[in-house]
Amino acid sequence: MSVFQAPRGTYDLLPPDSATYLAVREAIAAPLRNSGYGYVETPGFENVELFARGVGESTDIVTKEMYAFETKGGDRLALRPEGTASVLRAALEASLHKQGVLPVKLWYSGSYYRYEKPQKGRYRHFSQVGAEAIGAEDPALDAELIILADQAYRSLGLRQFRILLNSLGDKECRPVYREKLQEFLRGLDLDEDTRRRVEINPLRVLDDKRPEVQRQLTGAPSLRESLCEACRAYHQEVRELLTEEGVSFTDDEKLVRGLDYYTRTTFEFVHDGLGSQSAVGGGGRYDGLSEMIGGPALPSVGWALGVDRTVLALEAEGVRLDLPAPTSVFAVPLGEQARRVLFGVVTQLRRKGVAADFAYGGRGLKGAMKVANRSGARYAIVAGERDLAEGIVQLKDMESGEQSPVPLSAVVTEIEARLS
């Protein structure tokens, strides 16, 4: 019988590579925790209708990429293809917006699922860290989130990413632009699916990556020119706040993102070292989403950054994260008495917060020291019957190779001193 394999388009995270993913998640989460965002966790699946209404029935995500299924009880559920709708649903269900503190600031981390053609940088199961600020309409909030994402990427050592920025208008000016755009698009030579999209959500056609479509979009009406005064002023303030804080960006009038709920500010983080899958993250303002999923009017803004894509960006720039060794001390017992004594030492070290491991399985000295080397430990504690009879253990510096006897009663204190 052959060994089972992970489903196509998915991946397993295993040591030592998994340590990089954990470090990336931590780096993205750190500035959020430092800015008033609390952690939220939602189920891996939701009611299909949540995404159909929120993400948009005409989007590729809902029509082609969502994993939808019916339960034995007849419920129609879907694996979550993105995080915003789930987080907003959870916040509304718990009435967080009624607790007197707005915006409600939340961050999350988890796996998401889309049925896509697998390729490097695009998987059917992927990992994201996201942030949502729910219940406030303020250009400073939009700027804050963009700045925090920029801060996270820079803390990892990334430098070759760009921020694309646009405004999609609001319920006042967007319908006017929508009609102008539809009139223009109806005159183009488009396939049947794209023509259908023109009638349902014409802005999505601007995001079509096919060259034959992009060529025809030359001369399309400009959304920026159709913005009402309120949207124009709002977008200008976002731009000014970013500039004042030294965060550079590029205006991109064709940036619409792949979800229907965005209004006003929309942005994307792209990295030129990733080829066609250049987006590493993005987000925007979604002032109407709460009402779309049955809640009150709650203007909100958020983003999601891809952990997988960020790791690829680090590789593209040749950035190696300075990760702590998973093990600082490795204990090698020689004999049954030493096994019990050193197991106690390892337990004491762990209680003191020192990363320590142990040669399990009764290996000989040579085999156990090979494992100690592979563990990346800075020090090895070796002891046999003769050492214990003298009340000592041998402490070996794995970098220099120097080995010296240390009293058993003082070994924990000695290791703490050396590691500090």
Residue positions in the annotated binding site for L-histidine? 82-84, 114, 128, 132, 257, 261-262
C-alpha to C-alpha distance for 22 and 18, rounded to whole angstroms: 6
User: Within 13 A of 115's CA, how many CA atoms are on the CB side?
Assistant: 10
Q: What is the bridge-based pairing of β-strands 161-167 and 250-251?
A: parallel
Q: What is the DSSP letter of 308?
A: H
Could you give the maximum distance between any two Cα atoms of the chain, in Å?
93
C-alpha to C-alpha distance for 160 and 155, rounded to whole angstroms: 13
* SS3 at position 327: coil
DSSP track, 91-151: HHHTTGGGSS-SSEEEEEEEEEE-----BTTB-SEEEEEEEEEES---HHHHHHHHHHHHH
DSSP track, 175-205: HHHHHHHHHHHTTS---HHHHHHHHH-THHH
Q: What is the bridge-based pairing of β-strands 279-285 and 329-333?
A: unpaired
C-alpha to C-alpha distance for 332 and 369, rounded to whole angstroms: 7
Closest CA to 54 of 86, 78, 77, 92: 86
CB 352 within 8 A of CB 402: no
Q: What is the bridge-based pairing of β-strands 68-70 and 300-306?
A: unpaired
Please give the sequence-ordered ranges of beta strands (E in DSSP) within 296-402, or none if there are none.
300-306, 329-333, 356-358, 379-383, 392-397
C-alpha to C-alpha distance for 323 and 315, rounded to whole angstroms: 15
Six-digit token pair at 58? 């005409």
